[in-house]
Structure 1
Amino acid sequence: MKKSPGILIPLLLFLFLVIGNAFAAPPVFDVDREFYPYYPSLIQYQKSGAEFTPPEVCADCHQKQYEEWTGSIHSLAFQDPVYQGELNLAVKKVGHEISRQCEGCHSPAGVVTGEIKGPGNKGLSSMALAGVSCDICHSIVGTTHWQTPSHEPENGSFILRPGVDTENGPELRKRGPLAASDGCGMGFHTCEESSLHLQADLCAGCHQVYHYESHFPLEASYLEWKHGPYAQKTILCQDCHMVDFDTFIRTASEFRKPERHEYRHVFNGANYLLYYLAAGAAKKSGDEALAANIMNKYEMAIARLKAAADLEIDPVYREGQLAEIRVRVKNIRAGHNLPTSLTNIRQMWLEITATDEKGNLVLSSGAIDAEGHIPENTRIFNSDGMGNDFHFAVDPWVITAFSRHDTIPPKGYKDVYYGVSAVDTSVVKIEAKLRYRQADQKIAEKLLANVPEDIDLQAVYGLIEVPTLPVVDMVSKEARFNARR
């Protein structure tokens, strides 16, 4: 008996849907939208009549800390034009709800109050524009990461509570690492001692970034630290990034915690490009004092980069002939991997030059060209991102895995070998540089070309075109080896 195609086709469609659903990947985890109301940002907000306090108000009693924070990466987190360009692209590609994952760490108050509704600075309060300000860190009362698959801090996994409602009205409560002293807050706010402020978890919520859907770790600075020697020695994020340069050197070299009086609200790291741009904006506005403040932080960031790594250069002989040069790249003072953060964007690479006694070139690798491009044969330390289609990807909302991940762990090293052809000389001179750039020139140009319309790069930063990104020589070494032995 011949079956009617009118019955067969719906039956096949039904079977296709059943089988397809059976093999479809389930969500990484069931998101409790009441627990995570700002998902994919994992912030919680315990709202009361006590509102957030803008940093300029804090400055009335904490002038020293305010000046340290001003011009820091925390203070610039939301207004950063590179971030704003990335955010603008993200909103266009995946929508504002997904992009809240970024906003939750770059302006937490702006997210939980509902003030930020997209990219740009127009119409925002000083509190929203202040990024990660005094009242953000000192209003954190807990973490929210235990419901995630990894149970690790990520994507803004903290609880904000600037104060509470009492019988006498709203009361501001600020938390910090010290026991509350008599008169703390001088009647403006009360004080609470917080053990969380003495843990790396305080920082980890925004320095551990997972893909909003696949839950792949795009940034893993916290886990790099947690699985390394600094965590074992209880040297925390705060012990290296909230101190001046000399204290950082001692702490990172000797595993010795800073004294209480040595901590500063500088939050200094390797993002020298943001300092560079912000200092230009301060000069453009005529605020020379602010420009000088930011340039001091810029110079500290450069100094930290130069102190983080070291190189060893050694010859490798075969049958009495110099056959290879071994360059050992060592992470000697970074508590996380080198590089860290968005490792698919960061660029740390070796530039090697070998010459004979007459100055003739024997070997060359890693020299960037006039347009800032790094040659393909360069030994570079970073990651290559890819999407679900296994194709190369750069945008963080696309990356669901790394096809290559090559970074150097704390107190670890990587060896790189360079072959040397037989040379008619008695001595070979080697020059080695470990170089660092925050991003490829083309990526920076793309992001700055996509800043929101209300951010005028020429008016604010004096930029007519994207400048050549600064390259930092973290380490430079020379060595001479006999061509034969």
Structure 2
Amino acid sequence: MKPSLRTFLIIAVFVLGSFPFAAFAGSNVFDVDHEFYPYYPSLIKWNKSNAQFTPPEVCNGCHSDKYNEWTGSVHALAFQDPVYQGELNKAIKAVGHNISRQCEGCHSPAGVITGEIKKAGIAGLSPMALAGVSCDICHSISGTTHWQTPAHEPENGSFILTPGVQTEEGLQLIKRGPFTPSDGCGMGFHKCVESSLHLQADLCASCHQVYHYDSHFPLEATYLEWKHGPYAQKEILCQDCHMVDIRTFMRTADEFRKPGRKEYRHFFNGANYLIYHLAEGAARKAGDEKKADILKEKYEMAVKRLQSAADLEISPVYRGGKLVEVKIKVKNVRAGHNLPTSLTNVRQMWLEIAAKDEKGNVFMTSGTTDAQGHLPENVRVLNSDGMGDDFHFAIDPWVVTAFSRHDTIPARGYKEVYYALSAPQGNNKIILEARLRYRQADQGVAEALLSAVPESINLKDIYGLTKVPELPVVDMVVKQASFSTVQ
């Protein structure tokens, strides 16, 4: 006799009922193995040995060209950046130093795993800790733990550092790179090892995916933006755009053609022109004109990169034969990730428009900053709004656990913005000028961060600043169009 459906249900209820449902109900979405990640919330792993990290000045002895490219880069300035230090200082005061290791792990990996960094500031630290993301950090990465992270995605420095190993012959420094080593590579100082990881975007993913220290919400998702877009499909990697000059970047982005081996440089250039701007002022104040000139070049490179990343299309919208709106299509034409990216709730990319009548008189504006550099309300800003656990607006990275608005533009994508227009009576034509503008942060946010720098960073002594300056704004695109008020 076959058992009935009722019998199966009774057995199922009995068997399932014998399992501890509380174990399922109580399981965490983001489990953390603190033994596996001893520097948590930084997810760095260190294959510890007697091998010391090599300061970049030592690398300069044999690799002066690469050292000069790296000098003044965002990697070189990652830890000493006063904006970062202000944010770090605020975070430590708000949630404690242990939590802040999430930030420090990517801004100074050597300083975190050796235990040097115990607070915000630059006082008393070794050159290696101050060097931020130096030569030996990237070239000591032997693997990643992206699959083992709490989010099971790259996040918060999920890489493995192996600067050297202990062998029967003694200590052996090992440096990894993307190509087959040439004869005599390392000149006896270190061993050279070919690393396929250094030819992958996964190398960059560890630090260009910044997640909330506890909720693991992606505050920055640059890697995933790239991975889910057309550049990943065409096998154009982070290195192909950010380790080349501007001309090569534009060719790569336009044609989806990888650079030649000799075209790669250690610039690591992106949109963060503010860090170069501040560092140039510090170099000139210190009397180091050579370094200041290098920083000025990197600033100009970052600005040109921004100015080549986007485009605008302006078109009229008619109803009943009359002009009622203007549509502006904001296009991401060359960034391989969203535009903007990184801390999108802090970055500002917005439209500023001015409409003029036939005589050139302005009758409508939007998006113009005031005398103090602040944006007015009701401006079309293409970025994100963060919110905390209470679903209220938040901007601090240690508070933001979700986005309430996310208006960034994906690679090769666009956003359309509409403006209602009512032309003055008697006008047959209007002229519209549109600017796509960008800056690192809201003026008020910058003032708060630079006012919070630790005591060891004296803005006047180091940078020559007696007050927080108005942040520089880059005009990414400027377009004009004219059209009839009637169809």
TM over 0.5: yes
Distance 1:24 1:272, change over 3 A: farther
Aligned residue number for residue 342 of structure 1: 343
How far apart are residue 29 of structure 1 and its match?
Answer: 2.5
Distance 1:225 1:107, change over 3 A: same
Cα deviations across residues 359-394 of structure 1 (Å, max 9, x unaligned)? 233321111111112121111101111110111111
How far apart are residue 49 of structure 1 and its match?
Answer: 1.3
Aligned residue number for residue 444 of structure 2: 442
Once superposed, what is the RMSD of the aligned Cα atoms? 1.4
How far apart are residue 319 of structure 1 and its match?
Answer: 1.7
Q: How many residue pairs end up in the alignment?
A: 465
1:353 and 2:373 equivalent?
Answer: no
Greater Cα offset, 184-193 or 368-377: 368-377
Q: Is the Cα–Cα contact under 8 Å of residues 28 and 213 in structure 1 kept in the other structure?
A: no
| Aligned mates of 1:301, 1:401 — CA distance in 2 | 29
| Aligned mates of 1:26, 1:437 — CA distance in 2 | 42
Q: What pairs with 1:249-264 in structure 2 (closer than 5 Å)?
A: 249-264=250-265
How far apart are residue 73 of structure 1 and its match?
Answer: 0.2
Q: Is the Cα–Cα contact under 8 Å of residues 321 and 422 in structure 1 kept in the other structure?
A: no
How far apart are residue 119 of structure 1 and its match?
Answer: 0.7
Q: Is the Cα–Cα contact under 8 Å of residues 108 and 132 in structure 1 kept in the other structure?
A: yes
Aligned residue number for residue 17 of structure 1: none
Cα deviations across residues 425-480 of structure 1 (Å, max 9, x unaligned)? 01100000000011011111111111111111100000100100001000000011
SS, match of residue 325 in structure 1 = strand
Q: Is the Cα–Cα contact under 8 Å of residues 339 and 410 in structure 2 kept in the other structure?
A: yes
Aligned residue number for residue 15 of structure 1: none
Aligned residue number for residue 430 of structure 1: 432
Greater Cα offset, 23-32 or 334-343: 23-32
SS, match of residue 99 in structure 1 = helix
How far apart are residue 341 of structure 1 and its match?
Answer: 0.2
Cα deviations across residues 20-73 of structure 1 (Å, max 9, x unaligned)? x99997544332112100001100000111110000000000000000000000
| Aligned mates of 1:92, 1:457 — CA distance in 2 | 20
SS, match of residue 60 in structure 1 = coil
Greater Cα offset, 287-296 or 446-455: 446-455
Q: Is the Cα–Cα contact under 8 Å of residues 165 and 171 in structure 1 kept in the other structure?
A: yes
| Aligned mates of 2:29, 2:445 — CA distance in 1 | 30
**Unaligned stretches of 5+ in structure 2?**
1-21
Greater Cα offset, 391-400 or 413-422: 413-422
TM-score (norm 2): 0.94
Cα deviations across residues 121-144 of structure 1 (Å, max 9, x unaligned)? 111000000000000000000001
How far apart are residue 418 of structure 1 and its match?
Answer: 0.8
SS, match of residue 430 in structure 1 = strand
| Aligned mates of 1:366, 1:23 — CA distance in 2 | 51
| Aligned mates of 2:23, 2:404 — CA distance in 1 | 28
How far apart are residue 224 of structure 1 and its match?
Answer: 0.4
| Aligned mates of 2:51, 2:376 — CA distance in 1 | 55
SS, match of residue 464 in structure 1 = coil
Q: What pairs with 1:49-448 in structure 2 (closer than 5 Å)?
A: 49-423=50-424, 424-448=426-450
Greater Cα offset, 146-155 or 230-239: 146-155
How far apart are residue 150 of structure 1 and its match?
Answer: 3.4
Between the two proteins, what is the percent identity of the paired residues? 72
How far apart are residue 272 of structure 1 and its match?
Answer: 0.4
Cα deviations across residues 392-439 of structure 1 (Å, max 9, x unaligned)? 111100000111111000000011111111532011000000000110
Aligned residue number for residue 461 of structure 1: 463
| Aligned mates of 1:398, 1:28 — CA distance in 2 | 19
SS, match of residue 156 in structure 2 = coil
Tell me which amino acid in the other structure corresponds to 1:408.
I
| Aligned mates of 1:479, 1:56 — CA distance in 2 | 53
Q: Is the Cα–Cα contact under 8 Å of residues 357 and 423 in structure 2 kept in the other structure?
A: no
Runs of 4+ off more than 3 Å: 21-28
Aligned residue number for residue 8 of structure 2: none
How far apart are residue 295 of structure 1 and its match?
Answer: 0.5
Tell me which amino acid in the other structure corresponds to 1:478.
Q
